[in-house]
Amino acid sequence: MSTKSCCRFSLQVCSWVLVSLALYAGFPTWVLALDKEPGEPIHTLDPMVVTATKTPVPISQVTSAVEVFTAEDFEIRKVRTVTEALRLSQGTIVQSNGGPGTNASVRIRGGSSKQTLVLIDGAIVNSGTLGSFNFGPLTTDNIESIEILRGAQSMMWGSDAMGGVVNIRTKRGEGPFRAGAFFEYGSFNTLREGLTVSGQKGLIDLSMALSRWDSSGFSAINYRRGATERDSFRNWQASSRLGIALPKEGRVDVNFRWWNSDTSIDSSFGPSDVSDASNDSNGLVLTGIWDQPIMDWYSHVLTLARSQEKSPFDPGVSQRNLSTGVVSVPFGGPNETKVNSNRIETQHNFQLHESVALNLGYQFRQQNGKNDTGLSKETLSSHSGYTQFQVNLFERFFATAGVRYDDYNTFGDATTYRVTGGYLFKETDTKVRSSYATGFRAPTINELFFPDFGNPDLDPEKSKSFDVGVDQFLFSKRLKLSVGYFWNRYKDLIETIQDAGVCGTGPFGANFCPVNVSKARTEGWETSAALVLAQDLPFMKLLDIFGKYTYTSTRNLDTDRRLARVPVDQVSIRVHYQPVDPLNVVVDFRWVGSQFNRPSTAQDDSQRVPSFKVVNLVVSYDVMKQVEVYTRIDNLFNEKYEEVLFFGTPVRSVFGGVRVQFDLPVGDTNS
């Protein structure tokens, strides 16, 4: 983007903020109509963040760049998948290879998907063979919250957290036991249904969910390019969280999540419309977490976690090149990849002083992977120890400092550290925060061991990360503004190159293999504004706007080219209007700037993915306390766009659904 274009776009964003403020100023009669005293602040619950320090901290005291989505957000927007939720998050790039269930990746601040660590209830779910996590099959059913922590986080989380962390947690059962069900039907022959049970009785709480999703009529390769086959998606998902209260405020959580998806796919080579090709996923996550205070000044947390996934792949029976029209037989045959990840962590928390806490931890991590194409079972394992100090002075000054040491069975060891600080000016509701950290990513099993391709001499990728930001509340907390700058430097990045002196020969071509050869830079700005325009007024129960803008500049420092699949500009705006209690209207707007599909060494206009804008609309109505009906329209204005070159995205799509819930005769919570 040129300097002129960048300035013009920044002016547009500033104009949006100013218009919002003007709208707020234009509602004096609404403000006077409030039952509350003038100037009384809007009361919102300060969510607790765990990912940043591995201890619960109010988000107002967190000194890292973090964002939290809750189950209430998913419910209001009728979000079906985790990728749909993350598409509106700050500094995050979400891209899918086609329709529902197809491979979906998440990048943070211009890093790769391999540099984003993903956790589900404490289990690391990044693939041991590929390095990234496929978000495609994962729905939001029974998810309590998603925390997105931006910037290098290896000091607390180890490998794969160079770009940031996405932490997904299952709902906790609360209140009287209730059951619920939902049914949805819509475009692409979509049929979704599910059941839930949750509640608490005595020392036990439980939350369970089971859902099913069938869809067809959506071509993975963009149908506008000539694809005709209708690819299908079949998904089962189940989850539960069982909590047991222990003496002295202790607690045990046992978590379970399972998905089984069958997804039809196409190929970007050509591109090609492939018949009967599929890439399925069968995932399982099991975790147990014991959190036990021992003394007033000492507590202990033990985490046992396991994730595993089987991914059968079928190349299909025939493929048609959409550029040449040539019909051929796809390369290879059916195969299956199996990966699993085990994590054991013990963390000891000491309150050394009312203002100073110390966290000491040890983690054992093991990843296994194999497939039917020649990769025998290989293992990556590490032993890690970390120390972190947390400072909280007078509820104004907050700081953390820590160091971590990881010892791997493959490349050796890695040491990372992180320092953060922040100050809250209570008189003006202003928080200033900053952090500096180092990170690393261990080579994957494929990069190390894949036959005739892997390079066992690889070193880990390394990074340095810095950010600074200001969060400001105005107008009695009706308006929250946030602005931040981030900077990342990467070295020893792993790229596949052709080098007869280093590499072997194999199915990928002569002398191709991964090597530590690349350096890169990413930097940019993150701004957001959240404005409550009206609340508790006649026919204006709530009207609020939440907007975000991210500017990301990237460079491969070896070629001086932009990094692939990273748009410079991203904008998202959410408007929530609730005229009366039973009725909710939500409009989501997303604008994504142009990007390049190929790596920087082969950047050309034929590989450019144009910018696009998408508007989604959701209207829901509570017919009665136990029954809700809703309709959702995706891509309201029928935008023609691609997130990834050649792959399809939804045309205007309409869905309708109903949700019901009712009490169960299990007894009250005090029995």
Q: Which of the residue ranges 23-32, 473-482, 635-644, 647-656 would you say has the lowest mean pLDDT?
A: 23-32
Q: Residue 474 CB: number of other CB atoms within 10 A?
A: 16
Cis peptide preceding 451, ω within 30 of 0: no
- pLDDT digits 0-9 by tens, 201-234: 999 999 999 999 999 988 999 999 999 988 999 9
- More confident call, 615 vs 28: 615
pTM, 2 dp: 0.92
Q: pLDDT tier at 95 (50, 70, 90 boundaries)? A: very high
**Beta strand spans in 333-429 (E):** 335-353, 356-371, 378-393, 397-408, 413-425
Please tell me the predicted confidence (pLDDT) of residue 599. 62
In a domain, 668, yes or no: no
Whether the predicted pLDDT of 451 surpasses 80: yes
In a domain, 116, yes or no: yes
**What's the CATH number where 503 sits?**
2.40.170.20
Please tell me the predicted confidence (pLDDT) of residue 605. 67
Whether the predicted pLDDT of 336 surpasses 90: yes
In a domain, 43, yes or no: yes
Whether the predicted pLDDT of 9 surpasses 50: no
Q: Which domain holds residue 571?
A: 3-663
196 close to 181: Cβ distance less than 8 angstroms: yes
Mean pLDDT of 170-175: 96
Burial class (CB in 10 A: 0-12, 13-18, 19+), 209: buried
Q: Which of the residue ranges 289-298, 634-643, 659-668 would you say has the lowest mean pLDDT?
A: 659-668
- pLDDT digits 0-9 by tens, 302-324: 999 999 999 999 999 999 999 99
Please tell me the predicted confidence (pLDDT) of residue 488. 97
**Alpha carbons 233 and 227: distance in angstroms, whole number:** 17
**Phi first, then psi: what are they for 667, rounded to 5°?**
110, 165
**Phi first, then psi: what are they for 583, rounded to 5°?**
-110, 130
In a domain, 670, yes or no: no
Domain count, the chain: 1
Please tell me the predicted confidence (pLDDT) of residue 549. 98
**Alpha carbons 132 and 125: distance in angstroms, whole number:** 8
409 close to 379: Cβ distance less than 8 angstroms: yes
- pLDDT digits 0-9 by tens, 353-395: 999 999 999 999 999 999 988 888 999 999 999 999 999 999 9
Whether the predicted pLDDT of 542 surpasses 80: yes
3-state SS of 24-83? HHCCHHHHHCCCCCCCCCCCCCCCEECCCCCCCEEHHHCCCEEEEEEHHHHHHHCCCEHH
Whether the predicted pLDDT of 116 surpasses 70: yes
List residues bridging with 530 in a β-sheet.
480, 546
- pLDDT digits 0-9 by tens, 404-425: 999 999 999 999 999 999 999 9
Please tell me the predicted confidence (pLDDT) of residue 496. 87
Percent of the chain with pLDDT over 70: 90
In a domain, 557, yes or no: yes
**Alpha carbons 492 and 500: distance in angstroms, whole number:** 20
- What value does the mean pLDDT of the chain take? 90
Percent of the chain with pLDDT over 90: 83
Whether the predicted pLDDT of 635 surpasses 60: yes
In a domain, 111, yes or no: yes
Q: pLDDT tier at 44 (50, 70, 90 boundaries)? A: low
- More confident call, 15 vs 232: 232
In a domain, 501, yes or no: yes
Pairing verdict, β 116-120 and 164-170: parallel
- pLDDT digits 0-9 by tens, 571-597: 999 999 999 999 999 999 999 999 998
- pLDDT digits 0-9 by tens, 595-620: 998 764 555 667 899 999 999 999 99
In a domain, 671, yes or no: no
